[in-house]
Amino acid sequence: MRAGFVVSKAVGVAVVRNLVKRRLRHLMRDRLDQLPAGSLVVVRALPGSGEADHDELARDLDTALQRLLGGAPRRSDPPGGTPRDLGRSQGGSAR
């Protein structure tokens, strides 16, 4: 299993970016057994990652891995389905 970590300059200065990268690398090391053998994973740190503490990064990484492995819907998806389904009626044809 290989993992790459992409930390944008929008996250912060070099010291902050490297801290985020080290934290994510450490967190990912504990979760490698969840992934299929031979997997290639790229973790992209978003701008708010620089202010997140270790526990927040762990929760976000766990949520992303659950979505990746098919365990949880996206937070932005409404309970009734995907946004694409919202414009369609249940029983009729689309006009």
User: In this structure, is residue 4 part of a structural domain?
Assistant: yes
pLDDT of residue 21: 93
For residue 83, being part of any structural domain is answered with no
pLDDT digits (tens, 9 = 90+) for 63-74: 999 998 887 655
Sign of CA dihedral 72, 74, 75, 78: negative
CATH number for position 50 = 3.30.230.10
What pLDDT sits at residue 75? 57
At residue 2, the pLDDT reads 62
Query: For 26-39, what is each residue's pLDDT tens digit?
Result: 999 999 888 888 88
Tokens of 90: 């249940």
The backbone torsions φ and ψ at residue 13, rounded to the nearest 5 degrees and listed phi first, read -70, 170
**12: domain range?**
1-56
